[in-house]
Amino acid sequence: MILTVTFNPAIDKTAQVDELIVGGLNRLQNVRQDAGGKGVNVSKTIRALGFESVCTGFLAGAGGRMIEDALDELRIANQFVWVEGNTRTNLKVLNKDMVLTELNEAGPRIEPEDVDALIALIEKTAKPGSIVVLSGNVSPGVESDIYRRMIDDLKQTDIRVLLDADGDLFREGIKAGPFAVKPNRFELAQYFGVEEPDNALDTARLGRKLLNEDTKLVAISMGGEGAIFLTETDTLYCPVLPIELNSSVGAGDAMVAALAISLERGDALEELAVLAMATSAGACTTAGTQPAGLGVVETLKTKVKIENLEG
Ligand SMILES: Nc1ncnc2c1ncn2[C@@H]1O[C@H](COP(=O)(O)OP(=O)(O)OP(=O)(O)O)[C@@H](O)[C@H]1O
Ligand SMILES: O=P(O)(O)OC[C@@]1(O)O[C@H](CO)[C@@H](O)[C@@H]1O
């Protein structure tokens, strides 16, 4: 089974303006709302591809109920720990050149007993052999070593963790040896304290440093420049797929969804890369954080090109 964990879900409000004026009045057009937050998006994508996952994390207030309703409507199994306050709303503004500005709220305060309740829920739900996806930011009150502690515990019961986080959450999480990670190129460079590499080979060489006895797969997303997939023996680079861009919000989550599916069914690396590229590009063709449909993803899969970078 696949379990997605979202410590800080969000209602994503996506809108457009011609030009975003900082310090001025901006009149938003084409406003839409989606149930979001990274793990929630992963579960939505897994569903759109015809697979199952269980979606968990923290929800609060009216915002939380909207997300729960949306998941129920999509028939995505979900069980959240309810906390005080209100689930956040994140504003994503696209200008006419499709440049994205994101305004993410901090989210409701989480108490230590809420964290204990979530960990107990995950330990009860995830069976040995499961894939657990830990992704996104955490809200105030949650320590930045939380993913590290959870990975340490989950590994004891033969659960493979797929980690998609940034900053200290990633820095700490990686210490526990998650089975797979999906940094974007910026996050990778930030982790190693270096300039962002400007080519795929240097990016791959940096990413390779994350591989070890525990961490068997590193996927590095590079936005409009494609992605790299690394295992001990292989270094695959896939150029970006040509698509009509609508909104790239959640493209990384779509890639994580594909990785989770491929890991669960034991796909070969090439097959995993094809699904990851097609699913993430598909997410860019839809408005807001909606996943692409299976038909779109199947068509995109036929267009994926794979280059073996190091032999
Ligand atoms: N303009 C685009 N055209 C086609 N595919 C894209 C485009 N932008 C992103 N993608 C696909 O989505 C993948 C993930 O994108 P990106 O690296 O921006 O993820 P991210 O930084 O984790 O994003 P987010 O946190 O918003 O989900 C890319 O590797 C690529 O396959
Ligand atoms: O604040 P975080 O948790 O880092 O990111 C949250 C978020 O920006 O990520 C998703 C897109 O990847 C959106 O649904 C959501 O608003």
Distance 78 CA to ligand 2 centre (A): 19
pLDDT of residue 247: 86
Along the chain (311 residues), what's the average pLDDT of each consecutive run of 10 residues? 98 95 96 96 98 98 98 98 98 93 97 97 95 97 97 95 97 98 97 96 97 98 97 97 92 98 97 98 93 96 95 55
Neighbour count for residue 233 (Cβ, 10 Å): 8
Catalytic residue among 12, 34, 114, 253: 253
The number of distinct structural domains making up the chain is 1
Q: Where are the beta strands (DSSP E) in the chain?
A: 2-6, 10-16, 29-36, 54-59, 77-82, 88-94, 100-103, 131-135, 160-164, 180-181, 217-221, 227-230, 235-238, 307-308
Domain of 256: which CATH number? 3.40.1190.20
Q: Has 145 been annotated as catalytic?
A: no
Backbone angles phi, psi at 99, to 5 degrees: -80, 130
Do the beta carbons of residue 133 and residue 4 sit within 8 Å?
Answer: yes
Distance 123 CA to ligand 2 centre (A): 24
pLDDT of residue 288: 84
> ipTM, 2 decimals?
0.97
Rg of the Cα atoms in the chain:
18
pLDDT of residue 226: 97
pLDDT of residue 62: 97
Of ligand 2's listed atoms, the one at least distance from the Cα of 249 is: 11
- What ligand is nearest to the CA atom of residue 12? 2
Distance 232 CA to ligand 2 centre (A): 30
pLDDT of residue 311: 55
Assessment of whether the complete model's pTM goes beyond 0.90: yes
**CA distance linking residue 112 with residue 83, whole number of Å:** 11
Q: Which residues line ligand 2 (CB under 6 A)?
A: 8, 10, 12, 36-38, 41, 90, 102, 104, 136-137, 249-250, 252-253, 289
Residue 50 gets the label, from left (phi > 0), alpha (psi -120 to 50) or beta, of left
Residue with tokens 């699904």: 275
Which domain range does residue 47 map to?
2-308
Q: What three-state secondary structure class fits 163? A: strand
